[in-house]
Amino acid sequence: MTAQSTDVPLANIRNVTIVAHVDHGKTSFADSLLSSNNIISNRMAGKLRFLDSREDEQERGITMESSAVSLRFDMMRTGPDGIASTSKHVCNVIDTPGHVDFASEVSTASRLCDGALVLVDVVEGVCTQTIAVLRQAWMDRLRPVLVINKMDRLITDLKLSPIEAYHHLARLIEQVNAVMGSFYASERMEDDLRWREEREKRLEARQTSQNEVDVHENEDFGQYEEKEDVDLYFAPDRGNVLFASAIDGWAFRLGKFARLYADKLGIKETNLRRVLWGDWFLDPKTKRVVGRKKLAGRALKPMFVQFVLDNVWKVYETILGDYNPDAVQKIVTALSVKISPRDLKSKDTRNLLNIVMQQWLPLSTATFQAIVEVIPAPPEAQAIRLPFMLHPEKAVASATPLPPTNDTERALYSCDQSEASEVIAYVSKMFAMRREDLPEYKPRELTADEMRRRGREEREKRAAILANQIETEGTLPGNVNDGEAIDPSSEVLLGFSRVFSGTIRRNTTFLATLPKYDPTLPPSHLRNIPHVGKVQVTDLYIMMGRDLVAVDSVPAGHVCAIGGLEGKIPRNATLWAPSAKGIVVAEEADQQKIINLAGVILQSAPIVRVALEPDNPADMAKLVRGLKILSQADPCAEYFVQETGEHVILTAGELHLERCLKDLRERFAKCAIQPSAPIVPFRETAVRAPDMSPPKTPGAQRGTIHGSLLNGLVTFTIRAIPLPSSITEFLSLNGTTIGSMIVQHRPHSEDSSDSSDLTTDERTEGSRVLSSSEFWSTLSTLLDEAGPEWQGASDRIWSFGPKRIGANILLDPPGKPTTSRLRSRENHTEAVNEDSEVRAEMRLLRDFEGSVETGFQMASFAGPLCGEPVVGMAWVVESVEYNRDTETDAGKSRASTLVGALISSVRDACRAGMLDWSPRIKLAMYTCDIQASTDVLGKVYAVVARRRGRIVSEEMKEGTSFFTIRAMLPVVESFGFADEIRKRTSGAASPQLIFSGYETLDQDPFWVPSTIEELEDLGEKADRANVAKGYVDSVRKRKGMFVEKKIVESAEKQRTLKR
């Protein structure tokens, strides 16, 4: 670190992230903090948005990438002896985006910090992303500070009186506390359930081992320890609430006014702080503080209104209202602020207001005081947060912080900075910077000796040219640029990281463990080898917003950027070394216990796919290289190559896609790129409809398909059945549990691809991972409740699909189990049947089980409608027969083709069985939250209806004219929705689109008008009426599949053209 930072004690370091809904003022708020360190001027604070370093960020007015800056400040403290002293502090601040498309940036930033400044717009209140960032802070165990921003809008926009503003603020704080309370209640219920399950397991184990002993229900198990929620909520009198206006540069806590009025009122400062918020009133006669019960009908103002809001309102009304120089001078004198005569005479009253408020209630001072007093220092914070990273299940279940169990954990929990301590750093994301912006490539001022040397070299060069001793194009010996030229505009990937233990130094070697690394196994284990490797830290930087400061070392507790990780770490990793010297001996890492601080929890999964190709085919190598850099530099973007050879990127939304394409064209690939139309995923399913056509197989149940191959050598029967919605939802939520069970029962050579099988749009954030026993017991209960045809079906489950983890089931026939039954493999048991015929059929099934399962996986991965994945279907393999009587010599010679033919036949039979029901498509849906005033409410409804969306709820914000509208909108209809709604409402409404899952479109794609009334109303084709068919045909056309469409109509009809 620099010399200025090493002299700061560890207890005086704070790591904070600023989080909020979009446009709630995060970056403007950060400007005032930067101005306190003279990085920008006070006059530009709140307007410059310094941390928005990208050009498109400044144009759009929103943050797209998180930025970090290290700030220093001095704080005056009074010791026990009453003597005031100044202490130096360092605060590492990370500004994050608020738009839902960039929620992954919030996730990466929160993992590195110990506290969060949660900004809430006082007018808009608690919005969708406010809840999302509060949940992220809760999951990462950050200590939050509530900042109620844009207080000036209560005066200038809503025109509220001080008493009305007080009630509005009280309601707002109650709303935020209600959100925090819901998190606590949810976790408490899970803890209670986990404790009861553990208690029952112990009771069962004791009863089986001691049958003769009576076991009392509560013996030796203690009581459930309930966690306290006292420190959970926000309360102004506790100092964790800031009232601010970032645009005007002021903020305050109750302590500011408590210190101001304590002597005047003759009340202790601590006592006054407790009564400045809430229903407390100052009796003007007795000069005593009384509660509401003792008002006796008197109309007194709450103390917060009388001593705080009235003063702020008075300043605004005096300066921004009818400007009166004498009244302004009186306020300036009363507040003891220094204003130049030029500013007092200026007609720019807004600028005068900013100067007065910034000097009276400086935002940076109030914020830094709140950060120091509320947010813990790294040693205290890591003792609370690190157990949740290392042992999440144990930490959640424990009411008290877990104690360290070894030297590594002791160093982590105490944030040990010593040289001998193990060095552990966490890289939460990779970010790209132009090489020319790195400190070593920036031009610097030359010293006098260097200028003299350069002049001497130039004179010698000119003399040599005149004497024809060298060619004009040549260079002098010893030129410093003899090496290979490096493009200064090329991109460099750096690691955005936090040092948790030890001191990290340049040019040291570390062991990097990826999120899938298993710390219970040694690094040399086969499962860990792909997820561990050595990296060398070549450069270290302290981040200062747009700039970087190169340093030689960074001690624990600080946030920094690390160079040398490009191409070795995909996105996030844990760096480990036994000491500050790094890994010296090659085998040293194998002898130590390496830890894994796990991956980042992403709240929004990428859903929008786009295929890319360069305008010039010769630039394909540039595009591939740029896509690889983009997938590393963006924590939410994903890149892969489809089976067709197309290069596809996955993004979180339309705005995220625009930013990725801009980065590819201008920074990473530097070539012209042609994107395809957005590829939106669909799902296929089938339902029981009232008016279905007769079954395809006469005399059999609906969905039954008989198949044969090789002239009847092998015959089989498969029956398709739609799954109940409760089972489909349960399987969709527990894909992670199914995947972990599959990995445990497959050899290592096959499990390397399991992680990629869990596609991004199937991950669920916030769902608890069940154990295998919990999963099977819950699934059995749901199946038994679904009806008699599903009784005992959990014991017959052969496989899940697609990709072995989806929401489809392949079932065995009753009484004829195969070795592939998942539950029997889980319990290490196998059904035994004494019937010789059944045993023979079981052996036959086992011979063909691989082919049958592969056919099922293919059918569930690409359905019959448009080749999209299937959900909510079950297929029962009722019989598989091998007819030896029809076996001939020709049949024996073709037995080698049997496996492939059986796979394709089973796939086609599964698809045909599904079409025997009433097929449906499921649309990917966005939850759309819009805040709009009453003037544009009708226009918002019209745009949503035009996009085939539906309004779910409408709620009016109390005390304002704003409505919060929640709608469901198909993703396929969402492109251009934000721009259209802004145009229609003249910018008064802006939507937030959050992916919410898949919803069935209740319309048969194969429906055509049949009755006389339908034919009269819709015609013979009814293309416009069948929306589902339009979606299906568009996907089939994109994939190159057959589309039934009449190209020529009435070919024999004479065509006449008018002249």
Q: Does pLDDT of 162 surpass 90?
A: yes
Compute the C-alpha angle 403/406/411, nearest 5°.
Answer: 80
Q: Which residues pair with 648 in a beta bridge?
A: 611, 640
Higher per-residue pLDDT: 41 or 835? 41
Which is more confident, 691 or 159?
159
- Range with lowest mean pLDDT among 109-113, 576-580, 699-703, 747-751: 747-751
Tell me the C-alpha distance between 515 and 571, whole Å. 10
Q: How far apart are the first and last CA of the chain?
A: 84
User: Residues 22-33: what's their mean pLDDT?
Assistant: 92
Q: Would you place residue 766 in the very low, low, confident or very high pLDDT band (cuts 50, 70, 90)?
A: very low
Work out the average pLDDT over 664-685: 93
Tell me: pLDDT of 599 over 60. Answer: yes
Residue 705 Ramachandran class (φ > 0 left, ψ -120 to 50 alpha, else beta): beta
749 vs 1032, higher pLDDT: 1032
User: Which pLDDT value is given to residue 405?
Assistant: 83
Asked whether the predicted pLDDT for residue 1056 surpasses 80, the reply is no
Res 763: pLDDT: 40
How does residue 825 score in pLDDT terms, banded at 50, 70 and 90? low
Rounded CA-CA distance 337/1058 in Å is: 84
Which pLDDT tens digit goes with each residue over 384-423? Answer: 999 888 887 776 666 677 888 888 889 999 999 988 899 9
Measured from the Cβ of residue 238, the count of other Cβ atoms closer than 10 Å reads: 17
Instruction: Please compute the mean of the pLDDT values over residues 684-705 and round it to a whole number.
Output: 90
Which residues have a Cβ under 8 Å from the Cβ of 480 and sit 6 or more positions away? none
Nearest CA to 927 among 669, 655, 604, 681?
Answer: 604
What pLDDT digit, counting tens, does each position of 370-383 carry? 999 999 999 999 99
Other C-beta atoms closer than 10 Å to the C-beta of 9 total 12
Q: Please tell me the pTM assigned to this model.
A: 0.83
Name the DSSP class of 556: T
Report whether 803 contacts 756 (CB < 8 A). Answer: no
Q: What pLDDT is attached to residue 484?
A: 41
Please say if the pLDDT value at position 474 is more than 50: no
Tens digits of residue pLDDT in 547-567 = 899 999 999 999 999 999 988
User: Does position 735 have pLDDT exceeding 80, yes or no?
Assistant: yes
The residue that leads in pLDDT, 459 or 659, is: 659
Q: Which of 19-23, 50-54, 529-533 has the highest mean pLDDT?
A: 19-23
Pairwise pLDDT comparison (868 vs 223), residue with the higher score:
868
- 768 vs 822, higher pLDDT: 822
Mean pLDDT of 311-335: 90
Answer with the residue of higher pLDDT: 325 or 950: 950
Three-state SS for 585-641 is: CCCHHHHCCCCCCCCCCCCCCCCEEEEEEECCHHHHHHHHHHHHHHHHHCCCCEEEE
Any idea which of 217-221, 437-441, 825-829, 1038-1042 has the lowest mean pLDDT?
A: 217-221
Q: Name residues whose C-beta falls within 8 Å of residue 478's C-beta, 6 or more positions apart in sequence.
A: none
Dig out the tokens for 251 from the structure.
């903020």
Helices vs. strands in the chain: H and E counts, helices first: 33, 33
Output the average pLDDT for the chain.
Answer: 84
Residues 254 and 236 sit within 8 Å (Cβ to Cβ): yes
**Contact between residue 848 and residue 1023 where contact means Cβ atoms under 8 Å apart:** no
The pLDDT of residue 46 is 76
- Rounded Cα distance between 800 and 444, Å, is 63
Residue 882 has pLDDT above 60, yes or no: yes
Establish whether the linkage from the previous residue to 515 is cis, with ω within 30° of 0: no
Is residue 502 within 8 A of residue 423, CB to CB? The reply is: yes
Residue 480, pLDDT score:
36
Query: How many Cβ atoms are within 10 Å of 311's Cβ, its own excluded?
Result: 17
What does the pLDDT look like over 297-320, one tens digit per residue? 788 899 999 999 999 999 999 999
What's the pLDDT at 226?
66
Structure tokens at 99: 């738009």
Tell me the Cα Rg of the chain: 34
- Spatial distance between the Cα atoms of 277 and 237, rounded to a whole number of angstroms: 6
Q: Is 458 exposed, middle or buried (0-12, 13-18, 19+ CB in 10 A)?
A: exposed
* Sheet (strand 714-722) strand order: 704-709, 714-722, 873-882, 808-811, 797-801
Q: Quick one: what percent of the chain has pLDDT higher than 90?
A: 45
Whether the predicted pLDDT of 360 surpasses 70: yes
Least confident of 215-219, 629-633, 635-639, 915-919: 215-219
pLDDT at 470: 42
**Domains present along the chain, CATH in parentheses:** 3-181+234-374 (3.40.50.300), 379-437+487-591 (2.40.30.10), 608-679 (3.30.70.870), 685-902 (no CATH), 920-1039 (3.30.70.240)
Tokens describing residue 378: 């790294």
**3-state DSSP assignment of residue 71:** strand
Q: What is the per-residue pLDDT for 714? A: 87
Which stretches does DSSP call E strand in 127-284? 143-149, 241-245, 250-252, 280-282
pLDDT in the model for residue 754: 40
Task: Name the residue among 175, 365, 347, 83 with its Cα closest to residue 251.
Answer: 365
At residue 212, the pLDDT reads: 45
The Cα–Cα gap between 419 and 981 comes to 58
Find where tokens 């259209």 sit: 980
How many angstroms separate the CA atoms of 356 and 328, rounded? 10
Share of the chain above pLDDT 70, in %: 84
Distance CA 713, CA 692 (A): 33
Checking if the pLDDT of 837 tops 70, the result is no
> What is each CA distance from 762 to 267, 515, 731, 776, in whole angstroms?
59, 19, 11, 20
Cα torsion angle, 488, 489, 491, 496, sign: positive
Query: CB neighbours (10 Å) of residue 226?
Result: 10
Which H or E run includes 414? helix 407-414
Name which of 38-52, 212-226, 507-521, 662-676 the model is least confident about.
212-226
What pLDDT, on a 0 to 100 scale, did the predictor assign at position 567? 84
Report, as an integer, the average pLDDT of 684-697: 90
Q: Is the pLDDT score of 569 beyond 80?
A: yes
Comparison of pLDDT for 693 and 585, the residue scoring more? 693
* Residue bearing the bigger pLDDT, 99 or 449: 99
Counted residue by residue, the chain has a size of 1059
Q: Summarize pLDDT for 977-1028 with one digit per residue, the tens.
A: 999 999 999 888 889 899 999 999 999 998 877 777 777 777 666 556 689 9
Mean pLDDT of 467-489: 45
Residue 642 predicted with pLDDT over 90: no
d(CA 366, CA 385): 26
Tell me whether residue 127 is exposed, middle or buried, using C-beta atoms within 10 angstroms of its C-beta: 0 to 12, 13 to 18, 19 or more: buried
Report yes or no: 442 and 436 within 8 Å, Cβ to Cβ.
Answer: yes
Q: Over range 800-811, report the average pLDDT.
A: 92
pLDDT reported for residue 750: 43
Phi/psi for 992 (5° steps) reads -120, 120
pLDDT in the model for residue 382: 93
Instruction: Pick from 78-82, 213-217, 414-418 the range whose average pLDDT is largest.
Output: 414-418
